[in-house]
Chain A
Amino acid sequence: MLAYAIRRFGQSLFVLVLMSFIVFVGVYAIGNPVELLVNPQADEVERARATAALGLDKPFLEQYWVFLKGAASGDLGRSFVYNVPALDLILDKLPATIELAFVAMVIAIALGIPLGLVAGLKPDSAIGRGIMAGSILGFSLPTFWVGLVLIMVFSVQLGWLPSNGRGDTLAVAGIPVSFLTADGLAHIAMPAVNLALFKLSLLIRLTRAGTREAVLQDYVKFARAKGLPQSRVIGVHVLKNILIPIVTVIGLELGSVIAFAIVTESIFAWPGTGKLLIDSINQLDRPVIVAYLLVIVTLFIVINFVVDVLYSMLDPRVRLGGAAASH
C-alpha cells in the first residue's frame, strides 16, 4: 500500500509539471497582458518598465523556470491585476465553488440513485419511461439555457428566489458556508440545481443500467430463492453491486463539477473560482489562470486517489486480491 501511494504521488507530480507547462504555453499564446494593464497613453519607456516589473521581458523558458522554482515553494506568482498572491485569490474563492459543487452532487446523488433504481426495476412502466425521458432532457438541455429559464421563472416571474450572489454565510471552522442560513439556502438553491442537472441525469442512467443488469444475475435470483424480503434483495444485493461503478463515477464527476461550475457561476454571479477564472482570462491575468488550473488539477488528483481507495474498500475482489482463492 505504501509503495502504491509513493508511486501514485510520483505520477501525480509528473502530471502537475506537465500540466503547468502546457498551461504556460497556452497563456503565453493568448496575448500580452501589458497592453491591458498600462495606460493606453503610456510611452515606450513606461511600457518597458511595466513589462520588466512583471518579468515578461525574459525568454519564455526562463519565465517558466522562475515559475517552477516559485511553485516548488508554494508560490504560484502574484496577480498582475490585484498584486496579491494568485493562490490566495483562488483559495479565497474556492470554498464558495466547493460548496456549490458539493450541494449539487448531494442533490444529484439523493435523487439520481433512487430514480435510477425505480427506472431500472420497472423499465417498461410509465414512471420508468418518464424518469428516462427526464434524464434525456437533463442531458441535452444546455446548462446556461436551463439557468436562464430558472431565473426567469423563480426570480423574475414568481419572485421566490434571488437570482445572483451568495447571500448570508456562516463560518464553520473559519470557512464561510451558505447552506446553514435561510438566505444562503435561497441563494444556493437555483445554482446548485442548475449544476446538478447534468450529473443527476448521468446518475439516473448509470443506476438504471446497473440495476437492469444486476436484476438478471443469478445471485439476485438466488437471494430471492432464499425468501429474502424484496427490500433486502434490492437494498443490499442489487445496490451493493451497482454502487461500485457509481461511487467511482461520483468521485470523478465531483472534480468535473468543480471545474465546470464556471458556466453556472457566471449565470448566477456566484462568487466562486469559476467567475474568478473568467475575469482573469478577460484581463489576461496569467498567474491567476495558471494557479487556477493547477489547483483544479491537484483537486482532480486528490479526488481520484480517494475514489481508488473507496473503490477497493467496496469491492472485496480488489481489496483482498484474487490470489487468495482456495480449493
Chain B
Amino acid sequence: MRAAPLLAVDGLRMHFFTKAGVVKAVDGVSFTVGRGEILGLVGESGSGKSMTGYSIIGLVDPPGRIVGGSIVFDGQDLTRLDAAAWRAVRGNRIAMIFQDPMMTLNPVLRIDTQIVEAVRAHADVSRESALARAREALVRVGIASPDERLRAYPHQFSGGMRQRVAIAIALVNGPDLIIADEPTTALDVTIQGQILFEMQKVCRESGTALIWITHDLSVVAGLADEVCVMYAGRFVESGPVADVLDRPLHPYSRGLIESVPSRNARGQPLRQIPGMTPSLLGLGAGCPFRERCASATARCAESPEVTEPAPGRRLRCFHPAH
C-alpha cells in the first residue's frame, strides 16, 4: 500500500460557458502525483493541458468554471476552498511556470520587486530576508552574480534567463508542487536542454513534485516518472513512463509515440495520426477519438470507462492494444 499521493485529481471537469455554447475544455481527467514525483502531462494542442494546470492552481477565469471532480492536495479538496484559502496555497505550496518567458515577468517592475513580493505574500518577513531568499533562489537556478541581476529589469535578460527567473520565483517559497506549462517550448534547443536538466535537478534535490505539461513525448521520456495522456479534454491513459512509452495501450498514445522520431526506427517513414482534433464546442458522448481510430467499432459511440489493465496503469478504451 503506497502512501497517500500529494495530489489526486479525480474526474476533473472544467467547462467554458461561451455565447456559442459549452466548451468542455477538461472533461473527466484523473491522475495522481506522489511527493517528489514528476508527472508528464501530454497531449496535442488544445487538448486541455493548460486548463488542467490552471484548475489545479485555481486560476480559471470566467466564462470558465470547474463543474465537477475533485482536486485533493495534501488531504484538502482545493475545489472547495474560498478565495482567501486559494491565495494562501497559490505560489506558496503550488507554483506554476508558463510557456512564454518573454511575457511572464512584468516589464515595468524590477526582478527583486517581483521575487520579494512573492516571498512576502506568504511569509511575514522583512524586505532584507526576503531579498536573501530571492538571491538564494536565483543561485539555485544557475544565475551568476545574483545581486546585480536582482536590480535589473526583465528586458535586460534573454529568454532563457527570464525563464530561470520565473523558475526561481516558483521555487522561492519551497512549494510541494510545481506545474510547468511547456516552459521550454519558446526557447532555443540548447537552452531547452539546460532548463530541463536544471529543473529536474532542483526538484529532485528539494523533493518538489512536478507536473510537466508538454506535447513532446521525447521530453517526457527522459524526465518524468509517470505520464498521463490527454485527448480532447479527456483522460486517455496513464502509467509509469517507461511502460507507457514501450507498450502504449490506447490507440491514440500509440499513434503519438509512433509519430516521434526515434533512434531504432531511423530511415522508416514516420506515421501520422490521420484526421484532426474534434472541436470541443458541443462535443457529445462517445470516445472523442473514434473518427481517427483504426480500432473503432460501433461500441465506441458510447463513452468508455476508465479501467486498470495492469497494476499502476489506467486506460480509457474499449479495444486496447495487447
Contacts and interface: CB of A to CB of B under 8 A. Distances in A.
A241 B107 contact: yes
B30 interface: no
B90 interface: yes
Nearest to B62: A124
Contacts of B100: 218
Nearest to A323: B156
Contacts of B152: 324
Interface stretch (B73-81, B157-165, B283-291): B157-165
Given A222-B98, A327-B158, 16 more contacts: A217-B103, A222-B106, A224-B59, A225-B96, A226-B117, A226-B121, A227-B90, A227-B121, A228-B117, A237-B109, A316-B107, A316-B155, A317-B107, A325-B156, A326-B158, A327-B160
A314 B161 CA distance: 23
A69 interface: no
Nearest to A217: B103
Nearest to B109: A240
Contacts of B98: 218, 221-222
Nearest to B156: A324
Contacts of A326: 156-158, 161
Interface string B57-99: 1010000000000000000000000000001111110011010
Q: Which of B59, B95, B106, B107 has the most chain A CB atoms closer than 10 A to its own CB? A: B106
Interface string B126-168: 0000000000000000000000000011011110110000100
A322 B155 contact: yes
A232 B57 contact: no
B105 interface: yes
Contact of A236 (B109, B157, B161): B109
Given A314-B108, A316-B107, A225 B155 contact: no
B160 A240 contact: no
B39 interface: no
A224 B90 contact: yes
B153 A225 contact: no
Interface of A: 217-219, 221-229, 232, 236-237, 240-241, 244, 314-317, 320, 322, 324-327
A240 B107 CA distance: 10
Contacts of A314: 108
**Most chain A CB neighbours (cut-off 10 Å) among B152, B155, B161:** B155
A221 to B, nearest CB: 6
A326 B160 CA distance: 10
Contacts of B117: 226, 228, 232, 236
Contact of B87 (A227, A241, A320, A325): A227
Nearest to B113: A236
Contact of A228 (B57, B96, B104, B121): B121
Contacts of B121: 226-229, 232
Nearest to A238: B106
B153 A320 contact: yes
B118 interface: yes
B122 interface: yes
Given A315-B108, A316-B155, A324-B156, A225 B90 contact: yes
B280 interface: no
Given A240-B109, A326-B158, A226 B59 contact: no
B106 A223 contact: yes
A241 B106 contact: yes
Contacts of A228: 87, 91, 117-118, 121
B219 to A, nearest CB: 21
B158 A226 contact: no
B101 to A, nearest CB: 9
A91 B270 CA distance: 81
A218 B104 contact: yes
B171 to A, nearest CB: 12
A226 B103 CA distance: 15
B169 interface: yes
- From A226, A244, A325, name the one whose CB has the most chain B CB atoms within 10 angstroms: A226
Contacts of B118: 226-228
14 contacts: A217-B103, A218-B104, A222-B98, A222-B105, A224-B59, A226-B91, A226-B169, A232-B117, A241-B107, A320-B156, A322-B155, A326-B157, A326-B158, A327-B160
Contacts of A224: 59, 90
B61 to A, nearest CB: 9
B15 to A, nearest CB: 18
A241 to B, nearest CB: 6
A316 B90 contact: no
Contacts of B156: 320, 324-326
Interface in B157-186: 157-158, 160-161, 166, 169
Contact of B153 (A217, A229, A317): A317
- What 8 pairs across the A-B complex have the smallest Cβ distances? A227-B91, A226-B91, A218-B103, A227-B90, A316-B153, A327-B158, A226-B118, A219-B106
Contacts of B106: 219, 222-223, 237, 240-241
A320 B108 CA distance: 11
Nearest to B105: A219
Contacts of B90: 224-227
Contact of B104 (A219, A229, A315, A316): A219
A325 B159 CA distance: 10
A222 B155 CA distance: 17
Contacts of B153: 316-317, 320
Contacts of A320: 153, 155-156
B51 to A, nearest CB: 13
Nearest to B89: A227
Given A218-B98, A221-B98, A226-B118, A241 B161 contact: no
Contacts of B160: 327
A244 B118 CA distance: 24
Contacts of A225: 57, 59, 90-91, 95-96
